[in-house]
């Protein structure tokens, strides 16, 4: 037993180290290659430290570093949010982007961006949190009848997500046309335009969500065995579930408020982490997996051989949509058989 645990610990350490190396490499590539303008490698560090002024300082410190860090931090938040929801509901489809939490956050942030642009600095994060929590309450109320029905939760979430999308589309018809291009790109999911204020929001949000997740880790481990067994072991299931749902919604909302609802990262991060280190430790590794996915997609998006950079959300959708279809088909096949 101890030998198996030591082997598992070594595997987790190796996987974490490899992912960290990939993350460092992708982040460095994002800073060096993240645009059409070429910057010599020798100029990167002085510009990043503010020791050099001019074009290199502007491109590195004001554009590329905030974008790379926003991709890293938002990916970690999306990965954490998805793994939390999958652990709580015990359904691989029950992630914030599928059950509508991200759509609610996007609708809240879009309201501020289109109707109250003067509140642009602090408005979107607060509005995204309000939208996410409102939709979470609606989904939970409509799907909770004597217990959480995962199938009903997913269906209710998809329906309410469609309502939020319709509301956002309505905003486009009454908003100032000059703001639509920026907001449309943001709604697809893009790290372009991220600034240091957004990076601070993401960093503080990630730190808070990680602390809350650490405090909930033991109850969540018990809940993975089933509500009845967890209750028998002394876990207060309902408060723990409610707290974890709020933490996951906050993580998804904060990430969405800065980079938009980058799709499918929360859906695939947890399963990838589970494949690498096992389901028991997937929750701890999912933020790192999400960060690698978003930063890697951002590097590819910025350097795609096209006329203009591709929004990061387009590439993550190309990766995540086939997995989502496969999950649906697998569950349908299991139900039929």
Residue 148 lies in domain: 64-336
Question: Is residue 37 domain-resident?
Answer: no
Question: Is residue 38 domain-resident?
Answer: no
pLDDT tier at 1 (50, 70, 90 boundaries)?
low
Strand partners, 148: 144
pLDDT at 53: 58
Question: Is residue 44 domain-resident?
Answer: no
Question: Is residue 299 domain-resident?
Answer: yes
Say how far apart CA 86 and CA 100 lie, in whole Å.
14
pLDDT at 265: 92
Indicate the angle between helix axes 2-33 and 41-48, nearest 10 degrees: 100
Count of domains forming the chain: 1
Say how far apart CA 134 and CA 241 lie, in whole Å.
17
Say how far apart CA 201 and CA 73 lie, in whole Å.
10
Contacts for 121 with CB less than 8 Å, ≥ 6 apart: 197
Question: Is residue 51 domain-resident?
Answer: no
Say how far apart CA 108 and CA 102 lie, in whole Å.
10
Placement of tokens 């645990």 in the chain:
5
Question: Is residue 19 domain-resident?
Answer: no
User: For 256-303, how does the pLDDT look when each residue is reduced to its tens digit (9 = 90+)?
Assistant: 989 988 888 999 898 888 888 877 788 889 999 999 999 988 888 877
Question: How far is Cα of residue 128 from the mean position of the Cα atoms in its chain?
Answer: 13
CATH number at residue 145: 1.10.3470.10
Question: Is residue 40 domain-resident?
Answer: no
- CB burial string 305-315: b at 16+ within 10 A, e below: eeeebbbbbbb
User: For 111-143, how does the pLDDT look when each residue is reduced to its tens digit (9 = 90+)?
Assistant: 888 887 665 556 778 888 999 999 999 988 888
Question: Is residue 124 domain-resident?
Answer: yes
């Amino acid at each position: 037993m101890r030998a198996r645990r030591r082997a598992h610990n070594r595997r987790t350490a190796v996987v974490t180290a490899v992912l960290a190396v990939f993350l460092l490499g992708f982040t460095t590539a994002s800073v060096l290659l993240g645009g059409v303008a070429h910057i010599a490698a020798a100029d990167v560090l002085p510009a990043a430290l503010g020791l050099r002024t001019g074009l290199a300082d502007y491109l590195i410190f004001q554009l590329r570093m905030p974008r790379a860090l926003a991709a890293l931090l938002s990916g970690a938040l999306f990965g954490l949010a998805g793994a939390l929801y999958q652990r709580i509901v015990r359904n691989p489809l029950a992630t914030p982007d599928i059950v509508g939490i991200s759509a609610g956050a996007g609708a809240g942030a879009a309201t501020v961006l289109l109707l109250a642009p003067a509140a642009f600095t602090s408005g979107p994060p607060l509005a995204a949190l309000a939208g996410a929590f409102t939709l979470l309450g609606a989904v939970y109320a409509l799907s909770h009848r004597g217990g959480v029905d995962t199938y009903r939760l997913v269906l209710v979430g998809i329906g309410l997500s469609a309502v939020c999308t319709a509301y956002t589309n309505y905003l486009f018809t009454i908003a100032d046309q000059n703001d639509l291009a920026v907001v449309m790109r943001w709604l697809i999911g893009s790290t372009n335009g991220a600034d240091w204020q957004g990076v601070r929001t993401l960093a503080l949000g990630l730190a808070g969500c990680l602390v809350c997740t650490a405090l909930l880790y033991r109850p969540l481990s018990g809940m993975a065995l089933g509500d009845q067994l967890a209750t028998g072991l002394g876990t207060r299931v309902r408060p723990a579930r409610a707290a974890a749902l709020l933490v996951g919604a906050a993580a998804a909302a904060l990430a969405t408020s800065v980079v938009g609802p980058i799709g499918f990262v929360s859906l695939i991060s947890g399963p990838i982490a589970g494949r690498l280190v096992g389901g028991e430790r997937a929750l701890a590794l999912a933020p790192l997996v999400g960060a690698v996915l978003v930063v890697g997609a951002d590097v590819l998006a910025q350097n795609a051989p096209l006329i203009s950079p591709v929004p990061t959300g387009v590439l993550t959708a190309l990766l995540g949509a086939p997995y989502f279809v496969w999950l649906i088909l697998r569950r349908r096949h299991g139900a039929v058989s």
